[in-house]
Amino acid sequence: MINLKKEISNLISEKLNINKSKIYENVSIIKEKDKGDYTFPCFTLSKELKKTPNIIADELKQNIKNSDFIEKIESINGYLNFFINKEFLTREVFKEFDEKKENYGKSDIGNKKTILIEYSSPNIAKPFHIGHLRTTVIGRALYNIYKFLGYNTISINHLGDYGTQFGKLIEAYKLWKDEYNIEENPIEELTKMYIRINKLCEEDENVLNRCRNNFKLLEEKDDYCVSLWKKISDVSMDEFNKIYDLLNIKFDSIRGESAYVDDMHEVIEILEKNKKITLSDGAKIVDLTLDGINTPCIIQKSNGSSIYATRDLEAILYRARTYDYDRCLYVTGSEQNLHFKQIFAVAKYLDLNEKYVKGLQHISYGMYRLKEGKMSTRKGNFIKVEDILNESIEKAKSKILEKNPNLEDIEEVSKKVGIGAVIFSDLYNSRIKDEIFDIDEMLEFQGETSPYIQYMYVRINSIIKKSDENVLLKDINYSKLSDEQSYSIVKLLYNFTDTVIQAKEKNEPYILSRYLIDLSKSYSVFYNQNKVLSDDIEERKARLYLINIVGCVLKKGCELLGIQMPNKM
């Protein structure tokens, strides 16, 4: 399909004899109606050409001739605005869809590049609470987006299955194992024990020291500690898999921190060889002052125990050797910013190829908060994701039955709508922004929600099924789609691939989410002002083909976000 931005850049560049890439980066889409489709701000060249923006724009308007894809050009206050030929663009979009069908919008820009995306990564022995939802949902969306753009994409679930919390749980088990029914309700009981032992540690430093010693015993392969750790890990994964099944998520690699424990000596040896290790109160650290980081990175505790930074560094060595990655993305909360700055800085001293170090990137996000404030497992102030998803499904079911009491497959439809609403709500704003969790708001069928998009999709399906027609590209009279409502949709469809690319470049799924809302709204306006099943046969065929593309793009876009579409609602 023609790259309009590129073609416009070429036209401007040819007339001014200026580098095309400089022009290209300044050409942008016009969002306001009646002002054109693309614009170029001539003030970006004013200094170089020694002319005012208005003169540059006027001269370009005179010198650039309208082509088959340009309807007209206007010079407005130093901006050069291009109006695209409606029939030309509609033809381009329809032709592309006819060739690609369900792969419409797909790209191969990531060909021969490998992207690792680490996300979800819950902590063993703790409930999969709503705080874990953001990393899981954002990470999965980015995984789908990169894959759609042709990257060799690998999803990694880096489980928090090691660390001092296990020393605490082991101590809690020793103290109170007869008071809790771990066999029947493992995660909830372990959580109660964890909250209780943390409180006791705050009150009694001797208990805290015993917990630390338990973790050291675990690292030394003590039989009792290892067997208890394995038991806790197994029951935790069973619970996590329930959530992943609900969210329809699978990982290419599930590998916990424990997988790197036996090889961590390698990290220490390399850093010592490169004279980067210093001692601080018995602990081994790397001073990062020269890297602009005032807090040193602890590599080994004073009692000889490892720390998760060291395990992350060994994981980098493993991933570089195993996957030969171009980029490795870590989708975790913004409270981990310092941690990742530290390990990325230390990674420079691990004798790695420079591309592996440069490819490390922390994709941070804001936190989910309750209306009452921040959540904390230690304090017992959290919401389990399984409870939220099930509540959303039940509320979706209730709303759907109000509108359609005889709907078949109500359980399956409710599941898609309820879970989709939770996912979309998370992905509708920039990931950096903190979110207040409000389940009622995210389930609204009107407004900027997933149920609204799903409802538009269902309406399109209903019209196409009612028409019972197989419309072919050769049947289309493009002049029947020259109205503003149709063209508004065509422009959005044309920009689908670019939207996905923008979401990839900024690692921001919300760019795609907002696009899907815009497309749904545009379709709604079109539907309300145009009779799709028109008595005019040519008009009918053209409109059916158009809304068929809309339905396919809505479905594909939602799939990239991790949302499934119902056929009825």
In contact, 142 and 117? CB cutoff 8 Å: yes
Q: At what angle do helices 385-403 and 223-247 cross, to 10 degrees?
A: 20
pLDDT at residue 371, rounded to an integer: 58
What Cα–Cα distance (Å) separates residue 162 from each residue in 68, 229, 254? Answer: 63, 9, 14
Query: Which alpha helices (H) appear in 447-535, and where do they start and end?
Result: 450-467, 484-494, 496-506, 510-529
Q: Which long-range contacts (CB under 8 A, 24 or more apart) does 169-173 make?
A: 169/125, 169/193, 169/194, 169/197, 169/228, 169/232, 170/211, 170/214, 170/215, 170/218, 170/225, 170/228, 170/229, 171/197, 171/207, 171/210, 171/211, 171/214, 172/196, 172/197, 173/228
- Beta strand pairing call for 283-286 and 277-280: antiparallel
Bridge partners of 327, per DSSP, are: 115
Let me know: does 253 contact 157? Beta carbons within 8 Å. Answer: yes
pLDDT given at position 188 = 86
What DSSP assignment string belongs to 93-145? HHHHHHHHGGGTT---TTTT-EEEEE---PBTTS--BHHHHHHHHHHHHHHHH
Residues pairing with 153 in the sheet: 115
Report d(CA 382, CA 388) in Å as an integer: 11
DSSP for residue 7: H
What is the model's pLDDT at position 430? 92
Whether the Cβ atoms of residue 364 and residue 119 lie closer than 8 Å to each other: no
The pair phi, psi for residue 71, each rounded to 5°, is: -85, -45
How far apart are the C-alpha atoms of 419 and 476, rounded to whole Å? 38
Topology (CATH level 3) of domain 4-84: Gyrase A; domain 2 (3.30.1360)
**Contact between 28 and 38 (Cβ < 8 Å):** yes
pTM for the model:
0.92
Q: Give me the residue spans of the domains in the chain.
A: 4-84, 114-369, 385-561
CA distance 276 to 288: 9
Residues 485-541 have pLDDT tens digits of: 999 999 999 999 999 999 999 999 999 999 999 999 999 999 999 999 999 999 999
Q: Are residues 564 and 420 in contact, defined by beta-carbon separation less than 8 angstroms?
A: yes
* pLDDT per position as a tens digit, 465-491: 999 888 899 999 999 999 999 999 999
Which CATH topology does 114-369 take? Rossmann fold (3.40.50)
Beta bridge partners of residue 297, listed in sequence order = 286
pLDDT at 61: 94
Q: Report residue 430 as tokens.
A: 């920039």
Distance of CA 324 to the CA centre of its chain: 23
> Which residue type does 146 have?
Y
pLDDT under 50: residue ranges of the chain: 375-380
Within a 10 A sphere around the Cβ of 499, how many other Cβ atoms? Answer: 20
Query: 42 near 65, Cβ under 8 Å?
Result: no
Q: Which helix (H) or strand (E) holds 285?
A: strand 283-286
Query: Which top CATH class is 385-561?
Result: mainly alpha
**Residue corresponding to tokens 């020694």:** 50
- Matching fold, domains 114-369 and 385-561: no
- The packing angle between helices 537-561 and 496-506, to 10°, is 10
360-365 sheet: strands from edge to edge:
253-254, 152-157, 114-118, 327-333, 360-365
Radius of gyration of the chain (CA): 28
> CA of 432: how far to CAs of 28, 346, 361, in Å?
25, 25, 15
**pLDDT at position 303:** 81
Q: 513-542 burial string, b = 16+ CB within 10 Å, else e?
A: bbbbbbbbbbbeebbeebebeeeeeebbbb
Tokens of residue 263, six digits = 């090889």
pLDDT value of position 374: 53
